[in-house]
């Protein structure tokens, strides 16, 4: 889909409402911290001044508020974020799905609660354009968050009469051709390393070609919502996240990190793919730090306790081809229709699936 609005927005809004009703029947509505993955990613940046060593950026992506993620859950997520004592908070788009009116007040109220030592920065995603991008930008502004879509924000540190810079740039939704990388490059100061926020991860191919960015942070894919066990990859890959759908990649000299995000779009299911809060710790090679050497890969600070709200491991093992996924979804819907608990893998539902 590359036009500004989905062809049948009203239909999609209806589907969203129907899915919300379904969610409320099967998902516990009280916030449960244990369902979230908290992932720490250490990124060594070659020209990072020691003044920025261990600079902490907490990333939230793909809230899709009003679907899987409720205001109550978002408040809980923000509480987790605020405990991290972040230097910066980076928001990478898709704050809502297809309906903004119902959640606009909650979105502004919750985002206003975010606390970062330096600044909170944001870019927009495709869904923000499909609803009301001007209003989303207004909400971000009212919440004290700076929209850096096609813009640059520079953080400075001073010590002993010396100033060091860290640049954070952003592009607007690339899936909808809203990005303006030329403008970003013009505005980017020559001094100091640069980080890119881009909702769609596959833009990494373009970002890395500039040779100017050490790290790009993205979302958009929701990790595919279904991750194949053992392979740590996904079969469902949407436009803009086909090449870099989940986790950490090396693209040229740049690190691309794609978060699994917080929400879901349309289907509330996440299989083997917990919602994620990502914590980036920037490392200066000039500082001797054991963490630099020992933890090159992302560290899961805490894995979600998926069984509480996600399907069981046995369910996951059935996800080896798209037909199985379709059967699974059909099975769960049938369980809900028959007032059965979809998280109990009872014999009746198994038999129903076998009959199909
Ligand atoms: Fe998206």
Answer yes or no: do 271 and 327 share one domain: no
Distance (angstroms) between ligand 1 centre and the Cα of 74 equals 18
Answer whether residue 244 is part of any domain.
yes
For ligand 1, the distance from its centroid to the CA atom of residue 151, given in whole angstroms, is: 19
Domain count, the chain: 2
Q: Look up the pTM and report it.
A: 0.79
Shared domain check, 337 and 221:
no
β-strands 55-60, 276-283 pairing: antiparallel
* Predicted local confidence at residue 72, as pLDDT: 87
* 221 Cα–ligand 1 center, Å: 7
146 C-alpha vs ligand 1 centroid, how far in Å?
19
Do residues 36 and 157 share a domain? yes
Report the pLDDT value the prediction gives residue 51, as an integer from 0 to 100. Answer: 96
Higher pLDDT, 14 or 164: 164
337 in the same domain as 304? no
Pair (330, 293) in one structural domain: no
Residue 199 CA to ligand 1 centre (angstroms): 7
Helix, strand, coil share of the chain (percent; to 5) = 35, 25, 45
Q: Are residues 284 and 232 in the same domain?
A: yes
Q: Looking at the structure, do residues 333 and 262 belong to the same domain, yes or no?
A: no
| 16 lies in the same domain as 116 | yes
Whether 300 maps to a domain, the answer reads: yes
Residue 4 lies in a domain: no
Is 316 within a domain?
A: no
Please tell me the distance between residue 103's alpha carbon and the centre of ligand 1 in angstroms: 18
CA–CA separation, 316 vs 310, rounded Å? 10
Mean pLDDT check: name the lowest of 23-27, 112-116, 178-182: 23-27
Instruction: Specify whether the backbone of 6 is left (phi greater than 0), alpha (psi in -120 to 50) or beta.
Output: beta
Domain that holds residue 180: 9-308
Q: Are residues 239 and 102 in the same domain?
A: yes
Q: What tens digit of pLDDT does each residue of 76-97 get?
A: 999 999 999 999 999 999 999 8
pLDDT tens-digit series, residues 135-170: 999 999 999 999 999 999 999 999 999 999 999 999
């Amino acid at each position: 889909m590359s036009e500004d609005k989905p062809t049948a927005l009203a239909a999609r809004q209806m589907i969203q409402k129907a899915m919300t009703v379904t969610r409320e029947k099967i998902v516990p509505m009280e916030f449960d911290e244990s369902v979230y993955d908290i992932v720490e990613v250490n990124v060594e940046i070659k020209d990072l001044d020691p003044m920025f060593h261990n600079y902490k950026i907490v990333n939230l992506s793909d809230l899709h508020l009003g679907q899987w993620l409720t205001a109550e859950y978002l408040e809980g997520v923000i509480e987790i974020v605020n405990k991290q004592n972040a230097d910066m908070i980076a928001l990478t788009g898709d704050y809502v799905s297809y309906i903004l009116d119902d959640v606009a007040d909650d979105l502004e109220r919750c985002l206003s609660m975010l606390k970062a030592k330096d600044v909170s920065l944001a870019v927009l995603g495709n869904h923000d354009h499909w609803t009301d991008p001007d209003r989303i930008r207004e909400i971000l502004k009212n919440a004290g968050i700076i929209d850096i879509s096609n813009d640059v924000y520079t953080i400075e540190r001073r010590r002993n009469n010396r100033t060091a810079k860290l640049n954070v740039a952003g592009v607007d939704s690339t899936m909808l051709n809203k990005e303006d990388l030329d403008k970003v490059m013009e505005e980017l100061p020559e001094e100091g390393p640069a980080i890119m926020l881009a909702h769609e991860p596959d833009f990494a191919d373009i970002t890395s070609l500039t040779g100017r960015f050490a790290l790009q942070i993205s979302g958009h894919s929701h990790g595919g919502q279904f991750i194949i066990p053992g392979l740590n990859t996904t079969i469902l890959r949407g436009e803009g996240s086909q090449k870099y759908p989940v986790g950490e990649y090396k693209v040229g000299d740049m690190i691309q990190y794609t978060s699994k995000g917080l929400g879901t779009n349309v289907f509330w299911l996440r299989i083997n793919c917990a919602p994620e809060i990502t914590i980036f710790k920037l490392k200066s090679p000039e500082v001797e730090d054991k963490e630099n050497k020992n933890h090159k890969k992302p560290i899961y600070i805490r894995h979600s306790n998926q069984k509480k709200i996600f399907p069981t491991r046995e369910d996951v093992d059935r996800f080896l081809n798209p037909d199985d996924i379709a059967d699974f979804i059909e099975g769960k819907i049938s369980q809900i229709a028959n007032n059965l608990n979809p998280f109990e893998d009872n014999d009746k539902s198994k038999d129903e699936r076998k009959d199909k």
